[in-house]
């Protein structure tokens, strides 16, 4: 029985604990042995994103120290997992356990589809849902085919959600345009960031979505911030929160 370390991004820990709980519940419902190592803090993405690689290094080392002992690591976040898989090598190449960590850290949906091999998602979720395909999960982890790439279409997230009874995943005009969060970009280029976010929201609205969902709470945080400022009626939910209401097998 593989021992799974639950990796909860810092902003999920602080602002969206229910997403962490939902992730935990989904994994436990499938009989996964999950542990939450409470020493964890942050993967270091804000530093790395700002070019301050040397400030990300101690966080990468801390992460390896904490998670290196697990068979697998799962997180409800595409960008944080991408950080570990695609960017940690810069500081941790050659370190003991790093290679194992790099190849066994997963975003939640890909873990369910590729590792646990969930085939059935049963339950009701009536409503019109807009799926936001966050960029790191999409183009770095390849959770789905990006609209730019001319390859056979696939979407691991859609595979899980579409099986729910009553759910209507709306067709967006731009299926995978960036929401504008981009980490420190959200603050450094606030004007463009918010215009991008408002345009995403408008696309979801026009397509009839009542709920916007995604696998990265950071993007959802940005979109929800805009929605709540403009007092729009849309709800925002992480996919873990939708999946915790279902029976997976």
Partner 1 sequence: MIGHAEKAAPFAANEPRAHWHDQALWFVRLKRDRQAESIPEWEALREAAAAIKAHTLSRIADYLEEFERNAHANGIQVHWARDAAEHNAIVHRILADRGITRLVKSKSMLTEECHLNPYLEARGIEVTDTDLGERIVQLRHEPPSHIVLPAIHLKKEDIGELFHKELGTAKDASDPKYLTEAARAHLRQKFMAAQAGLTGVNFAIAETGGFVVCTNEGNADMGTSLPPVHIACMGFEKIVPRAKDLGVFLRLLARSATGQPVTTYTTHFHGPMRGGELHVVIVDNGRSAILGQETFRRSLSCIRCGACMNTCPVFRRSGGYSYGYIVPGPIGSLLAPLRDPSQFASLPFASSLCGSCSDVCPVSIDLHHELYAFRQKLVENKTVPLFKRMAMAVMTYVLARTWAYSLAGRLMRWTMPRLPRALVYGPWNPWGRQRELPPMPRQSFRDLMKHDLNNEEPK
One of 26, 27, 113, 135 touching partner 1 (CB under 8 A):
135
By beta-carbon proximity to partner 1, the closer residue of 46 and 123 is 46
Segment near partner 1 (CB under 8 A), from 6-14, 93-101, 153-161, 206-214? 6-14
Span from 7-15, 102-110, 153-161, 163-171 in contact with partner 1 (CB under 8 A):
7-15
Residue whose tokens read 């029985």: 1
User: Between 167 and 243, whose beta carbon lies closer to partner 1?
Assistant: 243
* 123 contacts partner 1 (rule: CB under 8 A): no
Binding to partner 1 (CB under 8 A) within 174-203 occurs at 174, 176-178, 180-197, 199
Strands 247-248, 121-122: pairing kind: antiparallel
Residue showing tokens 């936001």:
132
Closest Cα to residue 77, out of 122, 111, 128? 111
How far apart (Å, rounded) are the C-alpha atoms in residues 204 and 174?
A: 9
Binding flag, residue 148, partner 1 (CB under 8 A): yes
Residues that contact partner 1, how many (by CB under 8 A): 75
Candidates 36-44, 102-110, 116-124, 163-171; binding stretch for partner 1 (CB under 8 A): 36-44
* Helix (H) or strand (E) run with residue 194 in it: helix 190-206
First to last CA, the chain: 17
Residue numbers 51-80 binding partner 1 by CB under 8 A: 51-53, 55-56, 58-59, 62
Q: What is the DSSP string of 115-137?
A: IS----EESEEEEEEEEE--HII
- Residue 50 sits in the site that holds partner 1 (CB under 8 A): yes
Q: Does residue number 224 form part of the binding site for partner 1 (CB under 8 A)?
A: yes
- Check binding of 11 to partner 1 (CB under 8 A): yes
User: Where are the strands (E) in the chain, listed by range?
Assistant: 3-6, 33-35, 72-75, 105-107, 121-122, 124-132, 165-169, 211-214, 235-238, 247-248
Q: Which of 85, 132, 139, 204 binds partner 1 (CB under 8 A)?
A: 139
């Amino acid at each position: 029985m593989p021992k799974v370390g639950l990796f909860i991004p810092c902003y999920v820990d602080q602002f969206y604990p229910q997403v962490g709980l939902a992730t935990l519940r989904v994994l436990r419902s499938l009989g996964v042995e999950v542990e939450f190592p409470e020493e964890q803090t942050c993967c270091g993405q804000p530093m790395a994103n700002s070019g301050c690689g040397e400030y990300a290094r101690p966080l990468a080392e801390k992460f390896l120290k904490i998670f290196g002992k697990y068979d697998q690591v799962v997180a409800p976040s595409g960008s944080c997992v991408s950080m570990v898989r695609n960017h940690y090598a810069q500081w941790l190449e050659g370190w003991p356990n790093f290679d194992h960590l790099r190849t066994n850290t997963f975003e939640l949906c890909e873990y369910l589809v590729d590792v646990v091999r969930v085939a059935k998602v049963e339950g009701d979720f009536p409503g019109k849902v807009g799926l936001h395909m966050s960029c790191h999960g999409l183009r770095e982890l390849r959770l789905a085919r990006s609209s730019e790439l001319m390859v056979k279409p696939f979407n691991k997230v859609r595979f899980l959600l579409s099986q729910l009874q009553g759910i209507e995943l709306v067709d967006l005009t731009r299926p995978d345009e960036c929401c504008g969060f981009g980490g420190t970009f959200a603050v450094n280029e606030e004007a463009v960031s918010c215009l991008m976010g408002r345009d995403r929201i408008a696309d979801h609205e026009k397509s009839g979505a009542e709920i916007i969902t995604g696998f990265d709470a950071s993007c959802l945080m940005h979109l929800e911030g805009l929605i709540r400022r403009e007092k729009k009626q849309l709800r925002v939910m992480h996919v873990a929160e939708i999946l915790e209401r279902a029976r997976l097998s």
